[in-house]
Amino acid sequence: MLNPDFPFSYDHYLAHPAGLGSVPPELYGTEVAVVGAGLSGLVTAYELMKLGLRPVVYEADQIGGRLRTAGFPSAPGVVADLGGMRFPVSGRAFYHYVDLLGLETQDFPNPLAPVTSSTVIELAGQKYYAETAQDLPPFFREVADAWKAAVNDGAKFVEMQEAIRARDTGRIKELWNGLLPLMDEQTFYGFIAGSESFKEAGFAHREAFGQVGFGTGGWDTDFPNSILEILRVVYTDADDQHRLISGGAQRLPEALWQHAPSGMAHWPDGTSLASLHSGSPRGAVGSISRDADGGLRIRERWSREASYAAVVTTCQSWLLSTRIHTEEALFPAELWTAIERSHYMQSSKTFVMVDRPFWKDVDPDTGREVLSMTLTDRLNRATYLLDDGPDKPAVILLSYTWNDDALKWLALDADERVELMLHSLEQIYPGVDIASHIVGQPITVSWEADPNFMGAFKANLPGHYRYQQRLFTHFKQDKLPDTQRGIFLAGDDVSFTAGWAEGAVTTGLNAVWGVVNHLGGSSAPGNPGPGELLDAIGPIPLD
């Protein structure tokens, strides 16, 4: 996911034998606070530990954050990924840690993916069955062609992908810096509707594009967002070639917490984040302020206090104004504006466990499997079928929705959600008795209703590029007054690819660079860090 805003090769940076840098030995053991034990916080803490610092991780709820995996209590090992569940192979910084920790991955059964035996698209009551994209009627090919033409004509898609594949930083920046001012104030829908190809194709094609979209399915709930957000996804193949983590996505943050790397500066072999914390992170952060002596003071919700030379916050950044009392003087006013104006998507998922992957039963009349991965314009929007082999309980993600579609479920409890979802599926698959296969309790989540997140993930609205640029570049603090140094923002909403775990990893690495620099350390010789290259290839300011 070599991002056009900052095409820094984080995978090369991480793989470099010289490592990420060093701090002066007299600083070994210095405590640095890390707020949040999601992926970003744990990558940050893990790398700080390797450099000989002592990360102190704070967490309000569970280790893992939005990489949260829930289990079905009656069937140990059968799991549901409530947040991140499918990870593009282009996210190479993310996979650096997956590989390091020896986690197994498998292809994710997206619509029409090779691993998905069949997909059903149901729009306006009309049902289309496909094993490959070629099985769909020509209309869908026209929709796909109109999208390809729109991004080629309007956003230099092929040229950008070629430049990204070649890691041609100069060319990426040249293309992107030309597009930014033209695109920042345009919505995704405005871009589609204004394109020659979709104008020619007509409304039905635009509508179907919104419903079935590209890659993972329909993206019409993103229509009001800035087109820049969508371009970043498609340029970097974030919506393609997804893999899941066997046993659940939460295994990644949990493994980072437990892992004891060898050859660390200062810490003996066998030291892990878990051992440095005696097994549990500290509690929820209630406030962050500046001490009289210049330190950064953290007060926990249940009153314990400590002061640090540096703090990294990785929770959704607007929690810094809504849930954590953060002293206003710690950030410049324009950064607060960026934090406050953030736009987060809502998202809901509802899972049921079933006795076995019965959808693989073949209907004798049609010769097809009785149930398929399903995209529909009904409330469910997308239904995924997840199994781990025959004769074992399996999982149906009955509905995965975003934004307005997620809000439609918000007020309903799990059983009410399941009833409505099953009703929709009965219309698409008459005669298939899904309910009779359900075992255990359904699991449902609405991320916007959880006070430790208050939203699923960020998606910028038109005109928000300037805000994102401020948030992303804040880790390089040489132009800030001393009173605003030492506190760093990380987490996927600080990245240019919110909603993808890769952004959580890479902004964590930016924060590590920031902390090392702040404490008087430096990058490793021959392996310049993100801060060294930010001015040369970083996101440009707009007027």
CA distance 264 to 266: 6
Least Cα distance to 234 among 174, 161, 159, 172 occurs for 161
Q: Which residues pair with 207 in a beta bridge?
A: none
169 vs 342, beta carbon nearer ligand FAD: 342
Contact pick of 65, 109, 154, 442 for ligand FAD (by CB under 6 A):
65
Instruction: Yes or no: say if 444 and 453 are a contact pair by the CB < 8 Å rule.
Output: no
136 vs 396, beta carbon nearer ligand FAD: 396
69 vs 374, beta carbon nearer ligand FAD: 69
Contact pick of 342, 347, 399, 477 for ligand FAD (by CB under 6 A):
347
Contact pick of 4, 55, 84, 538 for ligand FAD (by CB under 6 A):
84
Residues 380-399 that bind ligand FAD (CB under 6 A): none
Full 3-state SS string of 224-250: CCEHHHHHHHHHCCCCCCEEEECCCCC
**Which region among 83-91, 185-193, 436-444, 527-535 touches ligand FAD (by CB under 6 A)?**
83-91
Residue with tokens 């002592």: 54
66 sits near ligand FAD (criterion: CB under 6 A): yes
User: What is the identity of the amino acid at 153?
Assistant: D
Q: Which residues pair with 313 in a beta bridge?
A: 35, 489
39 vs 425, beta carbon nearer ligand FAD: 39
**Which region among 22-30, 179-187, 335-343, 493-501 touches ligand FAD (by CB under 6 A)?**
493-501
Per DSSP, 437 falls in state G
**What is the smallest separation between the CB atom of 386 and ligand FAD, expressed in angstroms?**
13
Instruction: Yes or no: say if 440 and 394 are a contact pair by the CB < 8 Å rule.
Output: no
CA distance 41 to 317: 13
488 vs 500, beta carbon nearer ligand FAD: 500
245 vs 428, beta carbon nearer ligand FAD: 245
**Which region among 9-17, 36-44, 411-419, 434-442 touches ligand FAD (by CB under 6 A)?**
36-44
Cα pseudo-dihedral 151, 157, 158, 160, rounded to 10: 170
Positive or negative torsion for Cα 51, 56, 62, 67: negative
**SS3 (DSSP) at 88:** strand
60 sits near ligand FAD (criterion: CB under 6 A): yes
Interaction pattern, residues 294-323, with ligand FAD; x per rule: CB under 6 A:
--------------------xxx--x---x
Full 3-state SS string of 449-518: HCCCCCCCEECCCCCCHHHHHHHHHCCCCCCCCHHHCCEEECCHHHCCCCCCHHHHHHHHHHHHHHHHHH
Least Cα distance to 440 among 79, 86, 112, 154 occurs for 79
CA distance 127 to 429: 10
Least Cα distance to 163 among 145, 147, 175 occurs for 175
**Which region among 79-87, 112-120, 350-358, 426-434 touches ligand FAD (by CB under 6 A)?**
79-87
**What is the smallest separation between the CB atom of 47 and ligand FAD, expressed in angstroms?**
14
Q: Residues touching ligand FAD: how many (CB under 6 A)?
A: 40
At residue 331, φ and ψ (nearest 5 deg) are -125, 150
Between strands 31-35 and 119-123, the pairing is: unpaired
Instruction: Yes or no: say if 458 and 344 are a contact pair by the CB < 8 Å rule.
Output: yes
**What is the smallest separation between the CB atom of 505 and ligand FAD, expressed in angstroms?**
9
**Buried/exposed code over 134-155 (b: 16+ C-beta within 10 A; e: otherwise):** eebeeebebbbebbebbbeebb
531 sits near ligand FAD (criterion: CB under 6 A): no
447 sits near ligand FAD (criterion: CB under 6 A): yes
Interaction pattern, residues 142-161, with ligand FAD; x per rule: CB under 6 A:
--------------------
**SS3 (DSSP) at 212:** helix
**Which region among 39-47, 168-176, 464-472, 526-534 touches ligand FAD (by CB under 6 A)?**
39-47
**What is the smallest separation between the CB atom of 263 and ligand FAD, expressed in angstroms?**
26
**Which region among 30-38, 96-104, 218-226, 481-489 touches ligand FAD (by CB under 6 A)?**
30-38
79 sits near ligand FAD (criterion: CB under 6 A): no
Residues 275-294 that bind ligand FAD (CB under 6 A): 284-285
37 sits near ligand FAD (criterion: CB under 6 A): yes
Contact pick of 72, 335, 492, 519 for ligand FAD (by CB under 6 A):
492
**What is the smallest separation between the CB atom of 281 and ligand FAD, expressed in angstroms?**
8
Contact pick of 183, 501, 511, 534 for ligand FAD (by CB under 6 A):
501
Spatial CB neighbours of 34, under 8 Å, sequence gap ≥ 6 = 41, 44, 45, 48, 55, 56, 57, 58, 311, 312, 314
**Which region among 63-71, 165-173, 257-265, 267-275 touches ligand FAD (by CB under 6 A)?**
63-71
142 vs 254, beta carbon nearer ligand FAD: 254
500 sits near ligand FAD (criterion: CB under 6 A): yes
**What is the smallest separation between the CB atom of 514 and ligand FAD, expressed in angstroms?**
16
38 sits near ligand FAD (criterion: CB under 6 A): yes
CA distance 64 to 360: 33
**What is the smallest separation between the CB atom of 64 and ligand FAD, expressed in angstroms?**
7
Spatial CB neighbours of 359, under 8 Å, sequence gap ≥ 6 = 369, 370, 371, 372, 385
Instruction: Yes or no: say if 321 and 330 are a contact pair by the CB < 8 Å rule.
Output: no
Contact pick of 10, 147, 358, 457 for ligand FAD (by CB under 6 A):
457
CA distance 91 to 93: 6
Residues that bind ligand FAD (CB under 6 A): 35-41, 58-61, 65-67, 83-87, 284-285, 314-316, 319, 323-324, 347, 447, 452-453, 456-457, 491-492, 499-501, 503-504
